[in-house]
Amino acid sequence: MKIDLSGRTALVTGSTSGIGEATAEALAGSGADVVINGVSPERVAEAAKRLGVRGIAADVGTADGTATLTEQLPDVDILVNNVGIYTIQPVFEITDDEWLRIYQVNVLSGIRLARHYAPRMVGRGWGRVIFVSSEVGVQPPTNMIHYAMTKTAQLALSRGMAQQVAGTGVTVNSVLPGPTLSEGIRKMWADLYPGLDPAEQEHRFVSQGRTAGSLLGRLIRPEEVANLIAYVASDQSSATTGAALSVDGGMIPTILP
């Protein structure tokens, strides 16, 4: 199976590192005209140069930032709502401002962008909207309830939007990565396990934490998540819509997510 996205324009939010950058690279490698996004103009410029794609710096966690982006990029064929933030906090210590901040970035960004782009996709008879959710949306960790809430919300959003655009040639899906090796994780390991080589840091992290439930026995790599997203963005996935697709390494211990 060869995925060919030639002639398609793709926007990947939060794509200057991690899953977002890997997704942008995978889509560009399949022929798409990719636009990456982030808040920092410097980081966007660096990532765009690294990947050989276009970049737009805009804070899609705000209405003004979203408007800035859509003014510069009025239409896309593939929208990957990847941007997300998280913190580790006991649930009863999370303030109203923090609940609202994480909701604005993780949930409202995707709502605003889909509200702009999806009707245009419907008008052209083809499109892909993809929410990068998480396995925590199905099994919330106690110390990240606010983050898990936003990931559960994305599952409801993708299903509801898929129902709204039924029969139009536009599909809406979510993917659910499990714990994924990222720049932030590596920095955390440096604090948790100073002096150990990366392989041993990963072994300890997996064996001592909630990731011990992974059937892979390791963290997922960003490119592994990106591979699923590239498939969902393709013509080959035309019968897949309204779905929550796991790429969690077996973290969710059920047959269905």
pLDDT at 231: 98
Residue tagged active-site, from 86, 103, 117, 147: 147
Per-residue DSSP letters for 144-190?
GHHHHHHHHHHHHHHHHHHHHTTTTTEEEEEEEE-SB--HHHHHHHH
Domain map of the chain by residue range? 9-180+221-247, 181-219
pTM of the model: 0.95
Which neighbouring-strand residues pair with 10? 34, 78
**pLDDT tens figures, 44-80:** 999 999 999 999 999 999 999 999 999 999 999 999 9
**Model pLDDT, residue 206:** 85
Residue 231 is a catalytic residue: no
Residue 87 CA to chain centroid, in angstroms? 16
Instruction: Give the pLDDT confidence score for residue 195 in this predicted structure.
Output: 87
Q: How far is CA 206 from CA 178, 201, 248, in A?
A: 12, 9, 13
pLDDT at 92: 97
**pLDDT for position 165:** 98
DSSP classification of residue 126:
-
CATH of span 9-180+221-247: 3.40.50.720
Query: For 127-155, what is each residue's pLDDT tens digit?
Result: 999 999 999 999 999 999 999 999 999 99
Ranges in the chain, pLDDT < 50: none
Please tell me the predicted confidence (pLDDT) of residue 257: 65
Q: Report the alpha-carbon distance of residue 228 to residue 26 in Å, rounded.
A: 10
Structural contact between residues 177 and 216, judged by C-beta atoms closer than 8 angstroms: no
